[in-house]
Each structure stands twice: as C-alpha cells, then as structure tokens.
A and B are shown apart, each in its own frame.
Chain A
Amino acid sequence: MPQQVTRLIVLFAAGVVAILAARRYLVPPTFGEIGHYRAAAVDSIVARKKKYAGHQECALCHDRIAETRLSGHHRGVACEVCHGPAAAHVATPLDVKPTAPRERGLCPLCHAYNPSRPTGFPQIDSVAHNPLIPCIGCHDPHQPEPPIVPEECSACHGQISRQKAVSRHVRLPCTTCHATPEEHKTLPRRARPEKPTERAFCGACHAEDAPSPSSIPRIDLQTHGEQYLCWDCHYPHYPEAR
C-alpha cells in the first residue's frame, strides 16, 4: 500500500475514533433511546409529586358530602376548587387539613357579575347583594340553591328600596303601589307586579279632597301638571316635591 494511503487511513481512523469518543463523552446517557431526547427526562417528569388528589379520592372518605354535591348545582365543581390542593391531606389525613373558606371573598370569584361571563350563569353584584353576610350563611356550598323565595322586595330591587328608605315614601310598603302576584317571587319575569297607570292613583292620597292625613301635600288634580302623568315629573320612590 502506498505510503500516503496508509497515512490517510490512519488519519481517517483517528478521526472516526475521535468522533466516537466525543459522542460517548458528550451525548448524555439514555439520549436517543426513544427519540431525539433523554429518555430519563420523561421519568423525572413522571416522578413529580401531584398536589391535587382529584375529587374521586375525596369521595372515598367524605362520601356523604360527595353525594350531596352530586345532587346539586355544584355537581361539576370539584372539591379542590374551593378547598385547595389536597393530595397532602390524602396522604396524611390527620396532619394536613385542607382549607375551608368561609369568607365572602371566594364565591364572587365565580359568581360576581361580569359582562364577559356566559349569559345565564348565576351572578350577583357582590357589593349590593346582602353586604357583609357570609355567602354560606344563606347558601350551602355543597348544594347551592337558587335564592330561597325572597321575603322582601329589597332582595332583588335593592337600589329602589335604598332610595325609598331615605324618601318621604319610606313608610309605604311597595305593595301600596305595586300589586304583586305571589308567583313574582319565583318567576319574576313571567308574573310581573302592577304599576299605576293614571293620575287618579296618586290622587287617592294627594288630591285636595282625598281622605288622607292632612300632613300630606295636596294638589288640584284638574290643573296641576296639565297633561302629564305624576311620575313624568316626580320619581315615586324619591318624591322630591316638599
């Protein structure tokens, strides 16, 4: 064999050995076992500890609450949404206790009014809706019901009732002017309360010859306000005329 060929073969062989040695040194173990990555990386990711146990785990012990939850509107809300990650509690039930939030702050995360929320999702104005009362005082979070039949109009018509509370009409119950069918409490849009339609309705108290206490301001129904209805000028929930 010619000398230069021998030299080249030696050179090539040295190169191949160098590349193989470099590969052996540089390519990490398990690289390429499955694909172009370290197979051991998958194992280390799989070995991570879970923090959320899953609602099936909770039901193994808290079976009655789980049953209650499944019968109500929160059937799709997993336990750990409100109670926080509970894998540690599952591992050592007596040492680690999950949180049980009771303050007003948590429920509005989902139920505060936001125009971007889907239509029909139950929402409240958390400022006006029974302020300072904890949500769980009225609603069982494991089986929330739509509001129990409201006892007062103010439960829904808060703005009007607060306005009326500082007006001269404060002593008048809403039903003085709004005859309200009982079904309005459960089907507010289908059974609507009545509203006065004519001047004579206000005249029942405010006409000159009305059989009412003398302290009530009087007007002449025939001449006062011409063709307008009373509530075109006076807001009945806050009548400004003295």
Chain B
Amino acid sequence: MAGDDELRGAGPTPGTDDAVNRREFLEEVMKACGLAAPVLLGVVSSHTTPVLRSPTLHSHPFADLRFATVRVPPGTAQERQAEAYDAGAHLYAMGIDVSKCIGCARCVEACKAENDVPREADCFNTWVERYVIRTDGTVEVDSPEGGLAGFSPVEERGIRRTFFVPKLCNHCENPPCVQVCPVGATFTTRDGVVLVDEDYCIGCRYCIQACPYGARWFHPEKRVAAKCTFCYHRVVQGLVPACVEVCPTGARVFGEVERPTPLARFVRMNEVQVLKPHLNTKPKVYYASLDGEVR
C-alpha cells in the first residue's frame, strides 16, 4: 500500500525505541501473552483438575467393561462404608419393570419422606402414571398427586391395554439440565448421578424448562430447583434408594450395569428401553416391558 510505504519511508527505521510498526507491535503483544499464559493456565488448572473418568466409558452402558474388573466391594453395607467411598469406581443406574408395577405409590410416599419433599402439587422426585389405551386408540394418562391420591376407577369396557409407569429423573449421561445451568449449580457426579447444589442455585428455572422428562420441580420454600438424587446419601452408604427399598413387587431395581449388581441381571434378562431415546440424552433409567405409547 502506498500509505504504508510513505510512512515507512518518512518515519524512523523499524526496531528503534521511539516507534514500532504494526508487525513488531503484534510480536510484542504475543510475547507478553506468552509470558502471561503459564500464569493464567496455572491459575485455571488449579481450579479444574482433569476429570478422571474416561469419556468413552459413558458412551454405552455395555461398551467398556474395564470397570467390571475394578475392586468389587464386599457384601455388607457396613463393610463398604468402612472404606473410603470412591465415586470414580461406580456408575449408578436404575431398572423399572413396568409389568410388575401395581401403582401403589409406596415409592412416591417413601421418596417424600426420605427427601423431605413438600407435599404440594408438582413437587415430585418420582411419580406413578397410569396409562389406559382404548380400543379406539386414544391414550389416557393420569397421575393424581403423583399416584398418592389413588387411581380412581375407569370405564373398563373398551380398554386395549392399561398399566402403571413409575417415572423419575433419568440421570441422563447427556443431561440437558446440566448444560443449561448458567452458574454450574447442577452437575453430574463421577458416579453418574445428576445433583443440584442447593446453596449455589439461583432459582432461574432454566433446568426445569430444559428437562424433557419433567423430572425437575421448583422448591417452594428453598426457592431452588429440586430433583431426584437417586438418594445419593443412601447410595454412598451402600444402601438402595428409598423408592427401591419399599417397592413391594420388585418393580424397581437399583445398581450398576457394569458390575455384578441386581441391575446387571436386570439388563441382561430383560429387553430394556429408555424414555425418549431420540433426544440422545442417554438416560440411565432402563425400562422393561415398556409400551410404545409411553412418552
């Protein structure tokens, strides 16, 4: 460019102290950044330790069986509790056999008691839906008070299929709720459980909007998002979640797919499905005998 040549010609030679050209200026800046980079990176890395779990492990429940060879904890809960809990060695999931659910809603009751869930409308970590599919193809779904209020009689003529479906947070491997949280108040633990940090949640409700399963609710007193924790406080002690503990027919099964737990048997002996698989959320709640009408 003519202007550049004129400037260069008219001004002092490059490299002198009182003037720099564009190239040299950029070089200086890059050097300065280069000096600053280790400092900055050091600060950042002190905050974010790399995640220990390999990402491929999450890709498919049966894809990577390396963790099958990891130390298996001894049988009783007491013994397991004695050792330090290693979240990285677990990946929890739940199985639900729809054909065994009797719609008694004991799981809903137990969850409310165990997790101090307010007994108000829309405050449910888990709930039971009744599906009634008529011979004309219409589908009726109801869940009065999550199933706690009991299921009122329906017209029995003209029923093609009818069953109960327990629902809860699917603890997705790709959780949309975690992705949208603006402050990092909801997260996936290393053992695969999606939790909410009550002390850090700002109550913006983005996650409630984002969840395709309607599993999150807004705590009316704490003013934060709330959800199923897989009873994380019980699970780390080697116990099963309260809903699994009280399910009288064994419709709910808890454990790990990749280790010798009841759930491993469940996914081996049943043809399991997940809810809304097309959303690629990769749920970790596996349903057996699931009807195609269930959404």
- Which A positions have Cβ atoms within 8 angstroms of B? 1-2, 5, 8-9, 12, 16, 20, 23, 27-28, 31-38, 41-42, 44-52, 54-56, 74, 76-78, 80-81, 84-85, 109-110, 114-118, 121
Whether B248 contacts A110 by the Cβ 8 Å rule is yes
Whether A52 contacts B187 by the Cβ 8 Å rule is no
Nearest opposing residue in chain A for B110, CB measure: A52
Going nearest first, the 10 A-B pairs with the smallest beta carbon separation are A37-B187, A41-B197, A32-B47, A48-B233, A77-B248, A116-B162, A110-B104, A81-B246, A32-B48, A52-B242
Of B25, B150, B199, the residue contacting A41 (CB under 8 A) is B199
Contacts of B237 in A (CB 8 A): 50
In the complex, how many residues of chain B place their beta carbon closer than 8 angstroms to a beta carbon of chain A? Answer: 70
**Chain B nearest CB, measured from A134 CB (Å):** 19
Whether B245 contacts A54 by the Cβ 8 Å rule is yes
Whether A85 contacts B114 by the Cβ 8 Å rule is yes
Q: Indicate if B169 sits at the interface (CB-CB under 8 A).
A: no
Whether B197 contacts A118 by the Cβ 8 Å rule is no
- Which B positions have Cβ atoms within 8 angstroms of A? 17-20, 25, 28-29, 32, 36, 39-40, 43, 47-49, 51, 76-77, 87, 99-106, 110, 113-115, 130-132, 150-151, 153-154, 156, 159, 162-164, 184-190, 195, 197-200, 229, 231-234, 236-237, 239-240, 242, 245-246, 248-250
Nearest opposing residue in chain A for B114, CB measure: A51
Contacts of A48 in B (CB 8 A): 115, 233
Q: How far is the CA of A16 from the CA of B38 in the complex (A)?
A: 13
Q: How far is the CA of A235 from the CA of B249 in the complex (A)?
A: 42
Q: Report 30 cross-chain contacts, Cβ distance below 8 Å, ordered by A residue.
A: A2-B17, A5-B25, A5-B28, A12-B36, A16-B36, A34-B49, A35-B187, A38-B199, A41-B198, A41-B199, A42-B232, A44-B198, A45-B195, A45-B233, A50-B239, A52-B110, A52-B113, A52-B234, A52-B242, A54-B77, A56-B76, A80-B245, A84-B113, A109-B105, A109-B106, A114-B153, A115-B156, A115-B162, A116-B154, A116-B164
